[in-house]
Chain A
Amino acid sequence: MVKFQFDPSKCILPYDANELRPTKCLKCLDVCPASLLMFRPLKEKDEFGAPKFFEIHMIFKAYSKKFCPDCLKCVDICPEQAIKIKI
């Protein structure tokens, strides 16, 4: 299993109430050739019940070894160096 680590203190993804999604930058999602990353909300919510912040995490972990191409593009593209991968 590929160990994916995301540091939410380095990459803060606030919720955009108009666009109904995180405001930035999601480059890691775009660059992943296997689409194994997604954003999910952190527990903190605003007064309307919407999540305040998001984090990036890896999905289909059971098959990440098989489908993650170990390209490290997500690590390279992250402008905040918030992603670490242990293969």
Chain B
Amino acid sequence: MCKYCKAHAKKYGKWYLNPEGYTEELFYKLSTLDRILGRKPKKVRDAEKASDAAWYPLGISKQLELVDLASKPVIGGLVKKIGNYLAMKTHSGQVVPTEDANKIVDLSHDIVAYPCMCKRLFKGQDEYKCLNFAPLTDINRKAPRGWKEKRLSPEEAKEWLQDFSEKGYVHAVFWWCDMPQAICICNCDTKYCYASRPKNWYDITNVYRKAEYVAEVDPDECISCGTCLERCQFGAISYDRNGRAQIDPKICFGCGQCRVTCEQNAIKLVDRNTHAIAKKIW
């Protein structure tokens, strides 16, 4: 658990289970500088910009050009540090299993589905799979070119999450301009995900934090069917000498999607913070 998660988890155990993160008070809270300058809080200003669906491709393409600098030999290290710092201060996320995603739905209100921006930008297709909550949804509705939405009841949102889980999409809760303001649950396919690729390829780790869990296989229960191996989007699963599935805790993101496909119930999620190998890998 990083210092931000520790600071905001409080008695709830995880930052995204802190009800404060879903309130309008936090979203519209003014900083001293905002008060002096008489302007809206940064969260609102940034949200108004991002809610312009026409602006989005330009913003993302500019960010990606900066991300590319992280591969440069001299300045790459500095770019990674700045990227990791900004990720915590802007808009980044953490993988969550379906149970925790359902708890987030219970904490939030005014749930709407938007088309996945990554799939639109990098695949040219629209699929409604980004579940957003208030107060960001209000800002989007006021935007001149706001995202098209499908409103969902909490029950429908949970059904959608279950459906995404069966498709193998990884749930991730994203914060907005500082934790613990949670604004959406993305359901990611890492093949075209904007967040996971900078993490995996450029080592900008804070953009897409691993879950609070890590998956483990019970070798006595595994029947070597291979479904979990096909399901894992991160390449964390392989076979051992006896043909049993094994999960590399250094690679595992703790999304729990392998567990969904395991008919033998041989896979379980354990707390990352107590795992000997995975506890420092986020």
Residues in A lying within 8 Å of B, measured CB to CB = 15, 17, 20-21, 26-27, 29-30, 34-35, 37-41, 48-51, 54, 57, 59-63, 67
Contacts and interface: CB of A to CB of B under 8 A. Distances in A.
Interface of B: 53-54, 57-58, 60-61, 64, 67-68, 70-72, 120-126, 144-145, 147-148, 191-192, 197, 201-202
Given A59-B64, A61-B68, A40 B57 contact: yes
A59 B96 CA distance: 27
A38 B67 CA distance: 15
A60 B123 contact: no
Given A20-B148, A35-B123, A48-B144, A63 B201 contact: yes
Contacts of B121: 38-39
B124 A60 contact: no
A50 B54 contact: yes
Contacts of B123: 29-30, 35
Contacts, number: 67
B145 A35 contact: no
Mostly, the B contact residues are helix
B124 A39 contact: yes
9 shortest A-B CB distances, which residue pairs? A26-B124, A62-B71, A29-B124, A35-B192, A40-B61, A20-B53, A50-B54, A35-B122, A38-B121
Nearest to B124: A26
A50 B145 contact: yes
Nearest to B67: A60
Nearest to A40: B61
Contact of B58 (A21, A29, A40, A48): A40
A39 B54 CA distance: 11
